[in-house]
Structures are given as C-alpha cells and as structure tokens.
Chains A and B, each alone.
Chain A
C-alpha cells in the first residue's frame, strides 16, 4: 500500500512499516526548545533522571520569545537555559540571533526527510523543506533530550492541491489564510497537511515556509511539501548536504483531497479573534489601524521585508500608525541592511526591534492599548495574544500590512503596487 510523506518519514525513523493511526517510537534528527518552553523542559529533564543530552550536536535552545529580557523573572529563565546548554555542550542561539523557526533551517539543522520536534507549536514550518516537523510541549522535549526518541501516532493526511498561479499582489500568506478559512481552525486536527500543485511549485522556498508555518492553525500536526530543485539548492546553500527526500506514493491514501484554483484569489485578511475568520481584503478595507507589525516566524524573512519595502519606499507611514519591524534573524537583518531594504523601511517610519519573536507573542516590544486595532504578518489573532485582551488583531501578508501602515486603515496592497513591481506576486 502506498504511503504519504508523513507515513514515509515516520516509517524510516521508527524502523516500522507504519501507516496512519499506528503508534510508533521514532528517532528524531533534531530537537529544539525556546525560552517559553525550555526552562520547564530542563526541570522535567532532571525529574526524569536525565544526565546527558542524547546528542548535544542535534539539540538547540533558542532565546527568541522574550529577547532581550524585559523582566527579572525572564532573565532568570534565560540564565537557566544558558547554564544548561553550556553544561551539556548543546547549541544555544542567544538574544539577537533570531526566531527559532528561521534559525533551524538557516543554520542547516533541517533538510528533506528530517524528523524534527520543537517545543513550539509552529515547528511545522520546516515541512516546507520536506521535513516531518511538529510542535510538542516541555515534557516531550525533555523525553527527547534524554532518549533521542519520541512517540508518535502516525497522522492521516489531508492533501491540498493548489492549481493556477497567484495573481500579482497576492502572496503565500493570502493563500494559507484562504485555505485555513476554507477548512477552519480544527479542520485538520490530528492530521498532516500536504500541499501540492502548480501554485505551490511556483513559490520560492521562503514563501513555502509561510504556508507550512500555519498548518497548526488548522489543527495539523505537520505541514508537508515535496522537495524540488529549489529546496535542494536552498538547503545546500544553508549547509545541509546529507538528506533523504520523502515523496508521497501515487497510491497513497488520504483522509481528504481538496482542490482549489487560486488564480483569481484576492488578498486575504483574518479578522479578530480567530485565524479562520478570513475575508477578502475588499470586505475589511477601511478599518482604522493603530499598529502594524512586520516580521515573525510566518513573514519575517528577507523576501517579506522586500515586499513591504517595495510599497513603503519613498513614502511615509500614516501619522496615526506605529510600524514595528522584527527581522526573523540576524542574517535576514544584515542582508536587508546590505541591500537597502532596511533603510527604506526605517525612512518610511518603521521602528525596528531585535531579530526574534518581537511583539507577536505579547511579552514586550509593542503591546497594543485597549481598543486598538493591529494588522500583523503573524500567525495568530487570538484575543489577548499580544498581551491585551481588549485589542483587535488582523492578520495579512507583508504587502497588505505595508499598504495599511501607509493608509492608516486596512488597505488593498494592489493599489500601492506600481505596474513594474506587480510581477513579484508569484515570488511571494
């Protein structure tokens, strides 16, 4: 019987002929924790009687969620992580390096066919590289640090076939928001999502990360894509040489197969307070905003900053709007500076914060006031997400966020894209 990508990877890593619903114990290729989850994992590691991390070269802690520390209590937890990592000889990415989901692929820790667990729900991001990557909690992280293993219930797979090409001004973020709106926030619970079709193939690897990142917002365990030449080149450029791709068999069994023609898709916006509360931008245009956020593990990559800069260059952010930019990593920050993208953003009025999770998670760096509206490139708009349950978060693409920051209200980015730049839509 044919296998899906998820079944292939979990079979290989468990040494069992595994299919959906089977329970397996599999060896993991890489393990990650961040500052919201690692401190508790360190405690659990000790409670489990752990002494040595199974392989310090395949385990990393990333200080990105609350970095630099805004509070004494947070500083103590960061200190605990640094001490543990130093003692164990494991990898530590400290304040300013960037967001965990940018760093793991960027530093060559993940490639096609990898099995990765990360104590962060958006670990599914690496599925864009054909890795089975999934978010877990601190206790699972601790067990994996001790044993290098993890138990999995092999997921069923829901397959999304996206036909056509995204029109100009419409990006990967619009596509994934649209798909989540279609299947709802729990439409893929306990499942893996496989994305395929011409629209996906046309996207850059960076844009594919945006789609895989949000698989969890439809409840999925992993968001998977097949590797192609773009992926092979990308991972080699980022230092990953050894990998074994996992391709779905033609006779693989899927729980559902959903097909969409995306060639007429409009820019999409997720309205408060649910990620699946999605509407075309035309339905929400004109909603006043006070804060715009560009960055996060969903859309903080160089390509995203470029898309925003194309719209913001030579213009000024609306006087009633704070535009906060958090590059996804130090490397992204440097590259954006080198090519002048950062200058364009700052001249337009952006406040740039440390590479990392920035305001997305609500620990610091841009907590909205009561009653304020925020438009963000992040992946969640839950009530209270940015630490104020009386604020309203809208989610959109970097282009829509940039256009809205200029307009002072939610705006259609296509109105701001000149004819010569509108061709960038397929790349985004």
Chain B
C-alpha cells in the first residue's frame, strides 16, 4: 500500500475532541457532515484545505481521549490518507485500524507542513520528497496490517466471519 500526499502539521496530545468536537458527534451519523468540522478548533480552514490522500502529521499521543470512532471516521471522510505521529493513544489507534484509516508510528520531528510524502506501509518507509529524506516506520503487527489491507474490521468480518489472527 503506497500513499502519496501533502503533510498538514499538528502538535502533541491531539485529543479526539480536537479531531471532531463532542458537540457534533452526538447528534448525527452523517460522516460527511462531521468531516466538514474535522480539526476545526485547531485549524478552522483544515476541512477546506485538505486534499484527498493528504496526511495529518503530529507529535506524541495522537488521539487521546474518548473512544468515539467518529474521530478516525471524520478524518477518513475528510479525505485524509493516513495519520503519522510519533505515538498514538491506544483506543484511537485501534479504532483507526478497525475503520481502515492507516496510522503510522514514526519520528515526525523532521516533517513540516506542506512537505510532499510517499508512505509505503509494506516496505515500512516514508519518503519525504520535499526534503529528500527517508524515515523508517515502526512496523504494524501482521494482524493489524491484515485488517487494514481488508479495508477495516467490517470487510474483515465479512470475509472471515470472525477475527482471523493466522
């Protein structure tokens, strides 16, 4: 799986309420509506600026806070191709894989907003085309890679009828 896009830079401890505010996620299951408000408390123009396939790039503990998977879904529906962070909160990490949003743990300190990136999940490497650098990715356990390759837990369940760890 090779992804290509532009980086949008955020800081440490981006919680699920920053990703999509609680005031929206309780009243609708319309993910397109939620996607219009993604990241708006941090960058009101983000939903307008993000191009299909672009990357959200952040520091430590991305996705801390609530268990609501409206957070990864709002990012997916806004067109975000993957989230790159130096570490993730565990419920968000799980939810992202379950919903088919690639999450990439790596050293993000040298990636700036606007950098052009190619993320190769199989080879486990990010090519920063703007800076002519390569960044290694912390590999995903095979089961998670499999769920991601299936497109999330729904297609995985449809395919196998249960969890396939083999």
Residues of A near any B CB (own CB < 8 A): 23, 25, 35-37, 39-40, 43-44, 47-49, 65-66, 71, 73-74, 77, 118-121, 123, 135-140, 143, 146-147, 149, 151, 153, 185-186, 189-190, 216, 219, 221, 274, 361-363, 380, 382-385, 387, 389
Contact = CB atoms under 8 A, between A and B. Distances in A.
Contacts of B25: 36
Contacts of B67: 37, 118-121, 123, 135-137
Contacts of B61: 185-186, 189, 219
21 contacts: A37-B67, A48-B153, A49-B157, A73-B26, A73-B28, A74-B27, A136-B91, A137-B68, A137-B72, A139-B154, A143-B157, A185-B13, A189-B88, A361-B26, A362-B22, A384-B18, A384-B22, A384-B41, A385-B17, A385-B22, A387-B23
B147 to A, nearest CB: 9
B68 A36 contact: yes
Contact of B89 (A71, A118, A186, A385): A186
A39 to B, nearest CB: 6
Interface string B37-74: 00001000000000000000000110011111110110
A361 B69 contact: no
Contacts, number: 141
B1 interface: no
Given A37-B68, A121-B67, A140-B98, A274 B157 contact: no
Interface residues of B, number: 43
B26 A139 contact: no
Given A151-B143, A383-B41, A40 B60 contact: no
Contacts of B72: 137
Contacts of B94: 136-137, 140
A121 B91 contact: yes
B95 interface: yes
Given A149-B162, A185-B61, A186-B60, A387 B26 contact: no
Interface of B: 13, 15, 17-18, 21-23, 25-29, 41, 60-61, 64-70, 72-73, 87-91, 94-95, 98-99, 141, 143, 152-154, 157-158, 162-163, 165
B141 A137 contact: no
Contacts of B91: 121, 135-137, 216
B48 to A, nearest CB: 19
A390 B95 CA distance: 29
Contact of A274 (B13, B141, B158): B13
Contact of A49 (B15, B29, B65, B158): B158
A384 B18 CA distance: 8
A139 B89 contact: no
A388 B88 CA distance: 25
Contacts of A37: 67-69
A65 B64 contact: no
Contacts of A135: 67, 91
B68 A380 contact: no
B26 A66 contact: yes
B18 A383 contact: yes
A387 B21 contact: yes
Contact of A137 (B17, B18, B69): B69
